[in-house]
Structure 1
Amino acid sequence: MIDIVTFGRNLEKGHIENCYLFCGSDEFLIRESIKALIGKLIKPEFIDLNYVKFDGSSLEDFDTVINACETLPFMSDKKVVLVYRASFMGEEQGYKSKLNAHFKDIQKYLKNVPEHCILIFYYVFKSKRDKPGRKIYRLDKDICIVKADRMRGYQLENRVQEFFRIRGRNIKKVELRLFCNLMEGNNLSAVENEVEKLCCYTYGRDIKREDIEKMFLKNSEEDIFDVVNAISNKNLKGALHLMDELIYGGAKINYILAMIERQFNMLFKIKLLLEDKKQKTEIMKILNIKSEYGYNIMAKQSKKFTLKQLNRSIQLCLNTEKNMKSLSVDEKTELELLLINTIA
């Protein structure tokens, strides 16, 4: 088993295997790597004739894949057969595909793939905590397994810098590192989307630290407003859905928790000041709230809670944070319980 960086180095040197299995939580990174591999093997004008794709999530039998592999390439030395989203490579119990029952047949064929064909599978993990299972390890001798973990550190910085370069923008090292620290843990698709937003936000001028902080704070606050708003409306399903969207988008669970706790703290203070007959401008000054729009939303939300409810919600946040730090628990489950308990 090799990592995505080693795969890239091997590809540059022309070291190409007969069969590959890409697995990991970052589908964007997997697809990029496969695209680079295909680019090394087949000329663009012959792609349609020598590149065959199958959807692994709906594949009923492996015979069609074998037939594609056995067919000779046309005006090319190689052909590529890709089975994408190959769910049968996972360990999920009760998976319906017939291929789950014929896994040994698939493993047997991997030893007999013709030299003219490059057979590729890719399997996307269900969550960031998933790891290669027994099935994947059983294939390690018969296929080159490439694990596509989400990029971190210098790898992520280099890739992000490339995203900016493609868009004709420069970003200084300090700003680049700040951006990457905020984006670490996201898939590359989400990272590229944020690069695009930042380029649009700073169009015609240099990218500054303040731009990055403002952009991330604005996005985060709006998302948390929505979660707390769902809680205030007793909409558990909506709150859980919004939380899942935040996690899917790459937000870290402890960060989501901190933002929810911060929001409840702010609502508590606003409600306390409102009950003390303070005016909007005075409250904004006391709490250092710069945006009138943001204040109006929070003031409206605060009216949907009593002080007792807000105080209880803050305590629930603190207890959840304590559990995450001191116990061996599933963080996502703890966050879901927090939402359930704040609505109860």
Structure 2
Amino acid sequence: MREIEQVIRAAANGKIPGIWLWYGEERFLTQEALRVLKESYLKEDPSGSSIETLSAEEVSPAAVVALANSSSFFSRRLIVVQDLPYFREGASEDVECFNGYFADPNPGTCLLFVAETVHKGRKFYKAAEKYGAILEFSSPRRTWEWQAWLKAETEVRNKEMSPEAAALFLAWAGHHSGVLSRELDKLEVFTGERRDILPADVEQVVIRTAEATVFELLDAVARRSAGEATVKLHEVVRLEHPLKVMTLLVRQVRLLLGALAWRRRGEDGASLASALNIRPYEAKKIWAQSQSMTESQLARALQECLRTEIALKNGGGDPVFLLEMLIIRFCAG
């Protein structure tokens, strides 16, 4: 079950945990779930007085416990604690006061802790796991997981997207749920009462990410098509600052070198994602691109990238022209 659906169900059934720890890299989904949870409290108290948000960097654990234990005019109260330092080295003693509260929490209070990362070996995590509930917000990783996510999001909007449109949408818009959600909102408005979202709709509405265009740029480089590669470069430069474009190119070249090294070891593409610590959909593209490039070509490309980056940072010429020359040398190499 998707994390936000668990929050919706808990709120609808009146079974919101008294101690709740949320964590994960998906900040957009976390904020969406928090919005849903807050709405359930706002139905009882539209003024929002039953909801409090604290920064753990500014409020001590003892103060958090005191607030959670204090009486309230409202039958239910939500206390959201963010910016958690509790998983750092040396934080064990500071959080000892939570142990007693977690074992016997105020029944009218939901004490929600929100973090990006956690340390499962820390006492705070173990106490939250023992006495409360923990929810990890993670983005999809595999292609089928993104397709399932996209299907669910289009259904929420009472829309359908053909497999061709879905593939184009993910290729253009990338794989960040916040960006994808905004692009889906635009498609929802654009298509109006029409239920089907077509590839033509995606082409007219969705903005291609710089990362997606960089893949197309390197495809053109692999074909030695300097003209097409330069056109793609200009598309990327319209989206990002030249130094950011340079960073994207360097990253891509390094990933391709990693893929070639992995191939040389006799490994297959299926295990590349874990080897390079990238998402499976990206690994699939990198593996395919690496088939048409040589190690010497990529090594020269990396050297050219570093020279161009130095020129960009030291004002060695017009940034776009420097990047154009880099791409032309890529194609000539």
Q: Same fold (TM over 0.5)?
A: yes
- SS of the counterpart of 1:105? helix
Partner of 1:343: 306
Partner of 1:294: 231
Question: Would the alpha carbon gap of residues 29 and 320 (structure 1) be closer, same or farther in structure 2, given more than 3 Å must change?
Answer: same
Are 1:140 and 2:129 an aligned pair? yes
Displacement of 1:25 after TM fit?
Answer: 1.4
Are 1:321 and 2:277 an aligned pair? no
For residues 133 and 68 of structure 1, what CA distance do their matches in structure 2 show? 26
For residues 49 and 106 of structure 1, what CA distance do their matches in structure 2 show? 24
Q: Which of these residues, 106, 111, 119, is aligned with residue 119 of structure 1?
A: 111
- Is 2:253–2:302's contact at 8 Å kept on the other side of the alignment? no
Displacement of 1:182 after TM fit?
Answer: 4.2
1:178-229: CA deviation from partner (whole Å, max 9, x where unpaired):
367548983432222222344566679764213325766x624xx2xxxxxx
- Is 2:62–2:97's contact at 8 Å kept on the other side of the alignment? no
- SS of the counterpart of 1:25? coil
For residues 315 and 82 of structure 1, what CA distance do their matches in structure 2 show? 43
For residues 70 and 34 of structure 1, what CA distance do their matches in structure 2 show? 22
Return the TM-score normalized by structure 2.
0.60
Superposition pairs of residues 117-266 of structure 1, within 5 angstroms: 117-125=109-117, 133-135=120-122, 136-151=125-140, 152=145, 153-162=147-156, 164-165=157-158, 170-174=159-163, 177-178=166-167, 181-182=170-171, 186-199=175-188, 207-212=197-202, 219-220=208-209, 223=210, 258-259=215-216, 261-265=218-222
Return the TM-score normalized by structure 1.
0.58
Question: Would the alpha carbon gap of residues 120 and 331 (structure 1) be closer, same or farther in structure 2, given more than 3 Å must change?
Answer: closer
- Is 1:3–1:146's contact at 8 Å kept on the other side of the alignment? yes
Displacement of 1:119 after TM fit?
Answer: 0.6
Displacement of 1:154 after TM fit?
Answer: 3.2
Question: Would the alpha carbon gap of residues 316 and 84 (structure 1) be closer, same or farther in structure 2, given more than 3 Å must change?
Answer: closer
For residues 146 and 187 of structure 1, what CA distance do their matches in structure 2 show? 19
Q: Give the letter aligned to residue 77 of structure 1.
A: S
Question: Would the alpha carbon gap of residues 124 and 256 (structure 1) be closer, same or farther in structure 2, given more than 3 Å must change?
Answer: farther
Partner of 2:58: 59
For residues 130 and 173 of structure 2, what CA distance do their matches in structure 1 show? 33
- Percentage of matched positions with identical amino acids: 14
Partner of 2:76: 78
Partner of 2:21: 21
Which consecutive residues of structure 1, in runs of 5 or more, have no partner in the other structure?
A: 126-130, 224-245, 247-254, 271-282, 301-312
- Is 1:160–1:192's contact at 8 Å kept on the other side of the alignment? no
Displacement of 1:148 after TM fit?
Answer: 1.8
- Is 2:65–2:97's contact at 8 Å kept on the other side of the alignment? no
- SS of the counterpart of 1:68? helix
Larger RCO, structures 1/2 (Cα 8 Å, 6+ apart): 1
- What root-mean-square deviation, in Å, do the aligned CA atoms of Structure 1 and Structure 2 show? 4.3
- Is 2:216–2:232's contact at 8 Å kept on the other side of the alignment? no
Question: Would the alpha carbon gap of residues 259 and 78 (structure 1) be closer, same or farther in structure 2, given more than 3 Å must change?
Answer: same
- SS of the counterpart of 1:119? strand
For residues 204 and 112 of structure 1, what CA distance do their matches in structure 2 show? 51
Question: Would the alpha carbon gap of residues 198 and 156 (structure 1) be closer, same or farther in structure 2, given more than 3 Å must change?
Answer: closer
For residues 343 and 297 of structure 1, what CA distance do their matches in structure 2 show? 20
Displacement of 1:47 after TM fit?
Answer: 4.2
1:123-152: CA deviation from partner (whole Å, max 9, x where unpaired):
123xxxxx7632334531111111222253
Which consecutive residues of structure 2, in runs of 5 or more, have no partner in the other structure?
A: 238-250, 287-297, 308-333
Partner of 1:43: 43
For residues 115 and 105 of structure 1, what CA distance do their matches in structure 2 show? 18
Displacement of 1:24 after TM fit?
Answer: 1.5
- Is 1:323–1:329's contact at 8 Å kept on the other side of the alignment? no
For this pair of structures, how many residues does the alignment match?
Answer: 257
Displacement of 1:317 after TM fit?
Answer: 6.5
For residues 203 and 53 of structure 1, what CA distance do their matches in structure 2 show? 37
Q: Give the letter aligned to residue 260 of structure 2.
A: K
Question: Would the alpha carbon gap of residues 103 and 260 (structure 1) be closer, same or farther in structure 2, given more than 3 Å must change?
Answer: farther
Partner of 2:316: none
- Is 2:160–2:197's contact at 8 Å kept on the other side of the alignment? yes
- Is 1:160–1:180's contact at 8 Å kept on the other side of the alignment? no
Displacement of 1:55 after TM fit?
Answer: 1.8
Question: Would the alpha carbon gap of residues 132 and 187 (structure 1) be closer, same or farther in structure 2, given more than 3 Å must change?
Answer: farther
For residues 4 and 102 of structure 2, what CA distance do their matches in structure 1 show? 21
For residues 259 and 132 of structure 1, what CA distance do their matches in structure 2 show? 39
Displacement of 1:20 after TM fit?
Answer: 0.6
